[in-house]
Structure 1
Amino acid sequence: MVEPVAATAASTKPVFATLGLFIIDEFSFSDENGNPTNEKRPAEIGGGGTYAAIGARMWLPPRTFGMVIDAGTDFPQDVHAALKDYSEEMWCFRTQEGHMTTRALNIYRGQHRDFEYLTPRIRLTPRDLVNTRLADPLTIHFVCSPKRAHVITSELRELGWNPTTIYEPIPFRCVPEELPSLLEVLPAIDVLSPNAGEALSLLSVPEPVTREKIEQAAKRFVDAGVGSESNGFVVIRSGEMGSYVLSRGHGGEWIDAYWQDQSKVIDVTGAGNAFLGGLAAGITLESGDVYEAALYGTVSASFVIEQGGLPHLTRLSPNTPDIEEWNGDSPRKRLEEVRARKNRS
């Protein structure tokens, strides 16, 4: 159990905030030799923070959580309208004079994917939440390098905030050289969640990725001191293998991926971020039970990978997420399905 997240009905604190970014994604496609292909994809809403917020939106009333979006003077009206479809309450828009909206280019060269920013990014820290309704959240999510994670956790202490911290190491920093910095910040992290490839890369474990290697990696992070002595979880997101949850006090558990049929998987972009937004919601809804919360994350990811871009909220009821539909299906129904699978295993 993660103790700090237990919310009472009288609590006025926001349930969840993410420090991840909002990005407008653009795309470039070429073959293995760098020759442009005929594949085209229009610009779309992206960013680790955006997907995490959408993952939480499937479970939480939008007034109870959210993220800061730096909307530049060039912020597209159609993007604003698309975000409003999920409820304007969950987005804290701000405009800084002279700043453009963050844009990035996703470069696909054969099977290799690369990423570069087209405009300067505006990084968020806990202080960016101070004068918003997201100040002092119960749970906070951030995607960054280990050194920046140290800055964020230090700032949380300076502000006197004690949220459950969910740290997602940024992919290009998941290299062995970053391991010492990661180990330094682990005691301030309640939930560490790299994906399987990132976890093994940090620990210099060679491919192929296997369940045994994932379990060993999670144990190494737990033994290295994630969280406090009694708390602290490692959740390794492992694609079609599901996710592996381990804590010092409660042992390890595999959670199956929702989609066992891989033909249903269209695009995994943002799935890990959405998983962690769902996990954050589940931590509060399940009174700190991270194992149960991982089921919420699994369902959130399942809706993200069914199409390119964000999933569609097809039945809007802002204050009652239990009766909303996403992509024409119910998150609660899928939650009961993955819970039933877990109970049978």
Structure 2
Amino acid sequence: MASTKSVVTLGMFIIDEFSYTDLDGNTTKASTSEESIGGGGTYAAIGARIWLPPNKVGMVVDKGYDFPSEIESKLNMYGAEIEALTTRALNLYRGEIRGFQYLTPRIRITPRDLVNTALDTPRMLHFICSPSRASVILSEIQELDTWNPLTIYEPIPDRCVPEELAALTRVLPSIDILSPNAEEALSLLSIPIVHPIAKPVVEEAANRFLQLGAKNTVIIRSGALGAYVLTREAGGKWIDAYWTEADASKIVDVTGGGNSFLGGLSAGLELANRGHIRSVATFYATQDGLPAVTQSNDNSVQWNNDSPLRRLEVLKGRHT
């Protein structure tokens, strides 16, 4: 069954809970067990969905017997076509440090799970995992010798340690786009992390990944600095963050920003036939959880009561 999907993520759909404390363990914000849609795969899929119709975006959602009807209703708002115990996790915020732990066993998705489904052989494949797991995913793609997706890989944060660099180096030549965040990149490469992280250090890290064999493109997501994009053909370029220091009061929750950035990137590559960078992480910072989608009076779709194209034009104007 040939897929009609442009972008599919192997990342997980997770039902999240949250806990907030200061560095001494004192509660700073009411912890909540209220069920919230989460998971890196979900954020990436909705990031792509902001730019693409729902029938062009796909992910696997494992629905257990405990899958809440209200969560399903929220998920369907983004388009029902975005395709055991439901995976649950606790997000732990201790000051500015984020922790994460699964509350149920993880259900990993691989390319074989897509075969003979509506998600089979999409044009682009996004995945978040350890380097050794990435090797398994790439091997399964190679087994399907008629499928050559553009691969977008996020190393999973807790495996961005120096001990994983050798495994990452082995898979780099097979990955089209490698995208850790700045701290993850520096940690993998054993480069000291000094805050605030400076642009030259990020640039050094990206160049190191190319030297280690990255196939073509390295994108290091760097928070307020923006994102550094380095390709073998065109060299390096900084893309500004949409939100500036003056907008700091508008930032509520940055959870999922990096995942959504790459979902937006994949949508931009699809819309420009794999030739343009486009990001939607801006829509993930001004509310808790996923952005709200609404239909405006002129029948255009808005996200958080704003237009993605308007924000894109603002960002493009800064680079003119």
Shorter-chain TM-score bucket reads over 0.9
Whichever residue aligns with residue 259 of structure 2, its letter is: N
Residue 280 (str. 1) matches residue 266 (str. 2): yes
Whichever residue aligns with residue 315 of structure 2, its letter is: V
> Which whole-Å CA distance do the structure 2 matches of 1:116 and 1:21 have between them?
14
Q: Does the residue aligned with 1:143 lie in a helix, a strand or coil?
A: strand
Question: Which runs of 5 or more residues in structure 2 are unaligned?
Answer: none
The residue that corresponds to 2:156 in the other structure is 170
Q: Does the residue aligned with 1:165 lie in a helix, a strand or coil?
A: strand
The residue that corresponds to 1:85 in the other structure is 77
* CA-CA distance at 1:12 after TM superposition: 6.2
> Which whole-Å CA distance do the structure 1 matches of 2:21 and 2:250 have between them?
25
* CA-CA distance at 1:31 after TM superposition: 3.2
Q: Which of these residues, 112, 120, 129, is aligned with residue 97 of structure 2?
A: 112
Q: Does the residue aligned with 1:216 lie in a helix, a strand or coil?
A: helix
How many residues matched?
A: 313
The residue that corresponds to 2:59 in the other structure is 67
> Which whole-Å CA distance do the structure 2 matches of 1:131 and 1:324 have between them?
32
After TM superposition, the structure 1 = structure 2 runs for residues 257-296 of structure 1, keeping only pairs within 5 Å, are 257-260=241-244, 261-289=247-275, 292-293=276-277, 296=278
Residue 142 (str. 1) matches residue 134 (str. 2): no
Does the C-alpha gap of structure 1 residues 151 and 111 become closer, same or farther in structure 2, counting only changes over 3 Å?
same
Residue 245 (str. 1) matches residue 229 (str. 2): yes
The residue that corresponds to 1:3 in the other structure is none
After TM superposition, the structure 1 = structure 2 runs for residues 1-345 of structure 1, keeping only pairs within 5 Å, are 13-37=4-28, 39-41=30-32, 42-91=34-83, 99-160=84-145, 161-208=147-194, 209-227=197-215, 232-260=216-244, 261-289=247-275, 292-293=276-277, 296-297=278-279, 300-315=280-295, 323-343=300-320
**8 Å contact 2:3–2:121 — kept in the other structure?**
no
Provide the aligned C-alpha RMSD in A. 1.8
The residue that corresponds to 1:5 in the other structure is none
**8 Å contact 1:28–1:105 — kept in the other structure?**
yes
> Which whole-Å CA distance do the structure 1 matches of 2:235 and 2:73 have between them?
45
**8 Å contact 2:125–2:151 — kept in the other structure?**
yes
**8 Å contact 2:3–2:119 — kept in the other structure?**
no
**8 Å contact 1:187–1:225 — kept in the other structure?**
yes
**8 Å contact 2:3–2:122 — kept in the other structure?**
no
Per-residue CA distance 1:65-117 (angstroms, 9 max, x = gap) = 210100111000000000011110112xxxxxxx1000001122333321110
* CA-CA distance at 1:38 after TM superposition: 5.4
> Which whole-Å CA distance do the structure 2 matches of 1:66 and 1:12 have between them?
10
* CA-CA distance at 1:277 after TM superposition: 0.4
Does the C-alpha gap of structure 1 residues 56 and 308 become closer, same or farther in structure 2, counting only changes over 3 Å?
same
> Which whole-Å CA distance do the structure 2 matches of 1:82 and 1:316 have between them?
19
**8 Å contact 1:27–1:43 — kept in the other structure?**
no
> Which whole-Å CA distance do the structure 2 matches of 1:242 and 1:134 have between them?
32
Moved over 4 A (4+): none
> Which whole-Å CA distance do the structure 2 matches of 1:29 and 1:258 have between them?
27
> Which whole-Å CA distance do the structure 2 matches of 1:250 and 1:236 have between them?
16
> Which whole-Å CA distance do the structure 1 matches of 2:95 and 2:52 have between them?
39
Question: TM-score w.r.t. structure 1 length?
Answer: 0.87
Does the C-alpha gap of structure 1 residues 267 and 219 become closer, same or farther in structure 2, counting only changes over 3 Å?
same
Question: TM-score w.r.t. structure 2 length?
Answer: 0.94
Q: Does the residue aligned with 2:306 lie in a helix, a strand or coil?
A: coil
Whichever residue aligns with residue 211 of structure 2, its letter is: D
**8 Å contact 1:259–1:302 — kept in the other structure?**
yes
Does the C-alpha gap of structure 1 residues 12 and 124 become closer, same or farther in structure 2, counting only changes over 3 Å?
closer
**8 Å contact 1:53–1:277 — kept in the other structure?**
yes
> Which whole-Å CA distance do the structure 1 matches of 2:311 and 2:156 have between them?
29
**8 Å contact 2:14–2:86 — kept in the other structure?**
yes
* CA-CA distance at 1:35 after TM superposition: 3.8
Does the C-alpha gap of structure 1 residues 257 and 111 become closer, same or farther in structure 2, counting only changes over 3 Å?
closer
Q: Does the residue aligned with 2:237 lie in a helix, a strand or coil?
A: strand
